[in-house]
Amino acid sequence: MSASGIETAAAIASAGGEGTRTLQDRALRLFIVLSAFFCVNAALAEFIGVKIFALEDTLGIAPLQWNLFGQTGSLNFTAGTLLWPVVFLMTDVINEFFGRRGVRLISWLAAMLIAYGFVFAFAAIALAPAAWWVQAAQAQGVPDYQAAFAAIFGQGLWSIGGSLIAFMIGQLIDVGVFHRIRSLTGEKHIWLRATGSTAVSQLVDSFVVLYIAFVLGPQHWPIPQFLAIGSVNYVYKMLAAFAMIPLIYLLRMWIHRYLGEARARQLRDEAAAD
């Protein structure tokens, strides 16, 4: 081995690579932390997504009326939109350092955890409530705690199914587009592969979830309404994706510092060849 090769191997080992115990490996720790943030944000986005909030009222500004496909409305979004940008960020960072297999692993894991969570949410709804607990929140304006609990956690199966299907399709598209752009640009322009992959994946995700949940589902939205609301949601997601670009560079900088340049380069090379 050449002197430069020995130095690189030593740098990787000192950064938590070869010669360390499994849980002392910094790359493994990094993957666990990124995966945990990814999964918890995806699961929370699904559960809090039952709430629809008015963006203009939240910001204290006058309602902004959009007009698309013959439909009008204000900027109303699910509360889950607060967390999806974090999921996009984690997806891009894991793509950068752990490649296709890393993203696919955490995507399937997140989908299974979300389904697991909904199974137990429905199980909790089915439990017979204690008589005193049903009226426990009357002072806060909730006359029937059981009904409120069921309304919040008992999201319709069409919404759950549509969301999970759209999530997985979007993630699989994201990882493919990300690496396609990476193969064309090399290590340059991380912002381009991050936002480019999000642009394509979320175009599909935004419309698939609405189509399954609200067009095929019991509400049977007309196509113009479906197209209008899907378009507004997509624009919001893309604005959020552009806003996250500085965070991608900051997180990448921190990861290089945490792992060391040699180990970070090794991971990125492996991810690019994945």
111 has a pLDDT exceeding 90: yes
What contacts 17, CB < 8 A, 6 or more positions away?
A: 25, 26, 27, 263, 266
The label of the residue with tokens 């670009």 reads 245
Amino acid at 128: A
187-218 exposure pattern, b = at least 16 Cβ within 10 A, e = fewer: eeebbebbbbbbbbbbbbbbbbbbbbbbbebe
Return d(Cα 223, Cα 215) in angstroms, integer.
Answer: 8
pLDDT digits (tens, 9 = 90+) for 140-150: 999 999 999 99
d(CA 81, CA 59): 15
Distances in Å between the Cα of 244 and the Cα atoms of 18, 87, 89, 240 are: 33, 11, 7, 6
Residue 96 reports pLDDT greater than 70: yes
Distance CA 168, CA 110 (A): 9
pLDDT digits (tens, 9 = 90+) for 151-190: 888 887 888 889 999 999 999 999 999 989 988 887 788 8
Tokens for 176? 């493919």
When pLDDT is averaged across residues 81-97 and rounded to a whole number, the result is 90
Q: State residue 65's pLDDT score.
A: 85
Q: What is the pTM of this model?
A: 0.84
CA distance 21 to 17: 9
155 forms bridges with which residues in the sheet?
none
What digits encode the pLDDT tens for the residues 202-260?
Answer: 899 989 999 998 899 888 899 999 999 999 999 998 999 899 899 999 999 999 999 99
Residues 6+ apart with CB under 8 A from 194: 92, 178, 241, 244, 245, 248
52 bridge partner residues: 78
The stretch 81-86 carries a mean pLDDT of: 88
